[in-house]
Structure 1
Amino acid sequence: MDRAVSNLPSKPPNIVWISTHDINPDLGCYQGVWPGAEYAVTPNLDRLAAEGARYDNAFASAPVCAPARSAIMTGCFPTAIGTMHMRTKAVPPPYIRLLPEYFRQAGYYCTNNWFTDFQVATPPTVFDECSSTAHWRNRPDRETPFFAAFHGMTTHESRIYHADDAFAEATRNVPPEARHHPDDAPLPPYYPDTPVFRRAWARYSDLITEMDHWVGGLLDQLEEDGLSESTMVVFWSDHGRGMPRAKRWPNEAGLREPLIVRWPGVIRPGTVRTELVHTMDLAPTMLTASGLPVPEHMHGNALFDGDGQFGEEPNRFVFAGRDRMDESEDTSRTVRDSRYRYIRHYHPDRSGMEHLRYTDPLPTWIEFRDLACREAGQLELGLEPDLLTDLQRSVVAARRPAEELYDVAADPHETVNLAGRPEHESDLQRLRLALRDWQEEYGDLGLQPEADLIEQWRPGGRGRLTEEPEVSLNAEGWLVARCTTDGASIGWTLDPPSSDVPRRSPLDEMTGAPENDGRRWNLYTGPFHAPEGTEVWVRAWRLGFEPSPEAGTIFTRP
Structure 2
Amino acid sequence: MKRFVLPAVILMMLILCSCSKPQSVTQSEAPLERPNIFLIRIEDLSPKFGSFGDPLAHTPNIDALAARGTKFTNVFTTAGVCSPSRSALITGVHQQTMGTMQMRTSSFGANMLYGAPYEAVPPSHIKAFPELLRARGYYALNNVKTDYQFGNPFTVWDESSKTADWKNAPTDKPLFAMLNFIQTHESFAFPTDTVIEGNRYAKHFVPRNKKFDEGKSVFTDPADVIVPPYYPDTPQVRENLARYYDNLARTDEMIGALIADIEASERGKNAVIILTTDHGDGLARAKRTLYDSGLKVPTIIAYSDNRGAGTVRDDLVSFVDIAPTLLNFAGANIPDYIQGRIFEGPNRGAERDYIYAAADRLDEREQRFKAIRSHDFKYIRNYTPDKPRLPSIEYQNNSPVMKQMRAMLGEGTLSPVSAQYFQTPSPEAELYKLSSDPHEIDNLAYQQAYQGQLETLSAAMDDWISVTGDMSAVPELEMVAKMWPGGKQPVTKPPTACLANGNVQWTSKSDGASIGFANTQNAAAWNIYARPYTAAGITHAKAVRYGYAESEVTSAALSELKTCP
- Fold agreement, TM-score > 0.5: yes
Answer whether contact 1:42 1:209 (CA < 8 A) is retained.
yes
Match of 1:103 among 133, 152, 155: 133
State the distance in 1 between where 2:271 and 2:154 align.
Answer: 25
In the alignment, is residue 430 of structure 1 matched against residue 470 of structure 2?
A: no
In the alignment, is residue 491 of structure 1 matched against residue 516 of structure 2?
A: yes
What secondary structure does 1:201 align onto? helix
Answer whether contact 1:57 1:276 (CA < 8 A) is retained.
yes
Q: Which amino acid aligns with 1:146?
A: L
Answer whether contact 1:121 1:543 (CA < 8 A) is retained.
yes
In the alignment, is residue 360 of structure 1 matched against residue 389 of structure 2?
A: no
Answer whether contact 1:173 1:210 (CA < 8 A) is retained.
no
In the alignment, is residue 371 of structure 1 matched against residue 408 of structure 2?
A: yes
Partner of 2:317: 277
State the distance in 2 between where 1:151 and 1:126 align.
Answer: 16
Q: Kindly provide the CA deviation profile for residues 90-131 of structure 1, in whole angstroms up to 9, marking residues without a partner as x.
A: 111011001100110011011000200011112111111101
State the distance in 1 between where 2:480 and 2:72 align.
Answer: 37
Answer whether contact 2:385 2:424 (CA < 8 A) is retained.
no
In the alignment, is residue 144 of structure 1 matched against residue 173 of structure 2?
A: yes
Answer whether contact 1:72 1:282 (CA < 8 A) is retained.
yes
Answer whether contact 1:493 1:519 (CA < 8 A) is retained.
no
Match of 2:143 among 99, 113, 130: 113
State the distance in 2 between where 1:475 and 1:83 align.
Answer: 40
Assess, with a 3 A threshold, how the Cα gap between structure 1 residues 81 and 266 changes in structure 2: closer, same or farther. Answer: farther
Partner of 1:521: 526
State the distance in 1 between where 2:230 and 2:48 align.
Answer: 17
State the distance in 1 between where 2:52 and 2:349 align.
Answer: 22
Assess, with a 3 A threshold, how the Cα gap between structure 1 residues 166 and 462 changes in structure 2: closer, same or farther. Answer: closer
TM-score of the superposed pair, with normalisation by structure 1: 0.87
Partner of 2:252: 212
Match of 1:400 among 420, 426, 431: 426
Answer whether contact 2:36 2:268 (CA < 8 A) is retained.
no
Q: Kindly provide the CA deviation profile for residues 324-364 of structure 1, in whole angstroms up to 9, marking residues without a partner as x.
A: 01110000111000101111111111011212121223322
Match of 1:154 among 183, 186, 201: 183
Partner of 1:57: 74
Assess, with a 3 A threshold, how the Cα gap between structure 1 residues 129 and 368 changes in structure 2: closer, same or farther. Answer: same
In the alignment, is residue 544 of structure 1 matched against residue 561 of structure 2?
A: no
In the alignment, is residue 346 of structure 1 matched against residue 370 of structure 2?
A: no
Q: How does 1:293-332 map to 2 (within 5 A)?
A: 293-306=333-346, 310-311=348-349, 313=351, 315-332=352-369
Match of 2:57 among 40, 50, 56: 40
Structure 1 residue 545: Cα displacement: 1.8
Match of 1:26 among 38, 48, 52: 48
Answer whether contact 1:360 1:366 (CA < 8 A) is retained.
yes
Partner of 2:162: 132
Match of 1:410 among 433, 436, 441: 436
Match of 2:212 among 170, 187, 209: 170
Partner of 1:66: 83
State the distance in 2 between where 1:136 and 1:104 align.
Answer: 15
More moved, 260-269 vs 237-246: 260-269
Answer whether contact 1:246 1:253 (CA < 8 A) is retained.
yes
Q: Which amino acid aligns with 1:449?
A: P
What secondary structure does 1:38 align onto? coil
More moved, 346-355 vs 519-528: 519-528
Partner of 1:501: none
Match of 2:299 among 234, 259, 277: 259
Aligned residues: 505
| Structure 2: gaps (5+ residues) | 1-30, 106-118, 194-206
Structure 1 residue 266: Cα displacement: 6.9
State the distance in 2 between where 1:172 and 1:221 align.
Answer: 25
What secondary structure does 1:11 align onto? coil
State the distance in 1 between where 2:555 and 2:136 align.
Answer: 25
State the distance in 1 between where 2:506 and 2:481 align.
Answer: 31
State the distance in 2 between where 1:395 and 1:406 align.
Answer: 15
TM-score of the superposed pair, with normalisation by structure 2: 0.86
In the alignment, is residue 472 of structure 1 matched against residue 489 of structure 2?
A: no
Answer whether contact 1:171 1:206 (CA < 8 A) is retained.
no
| Structure 1: gaps (5+ residues) | 1-8, 32-36, 376-386, 498-517
Q: Which amino acid aligns with 2:484?
A: R
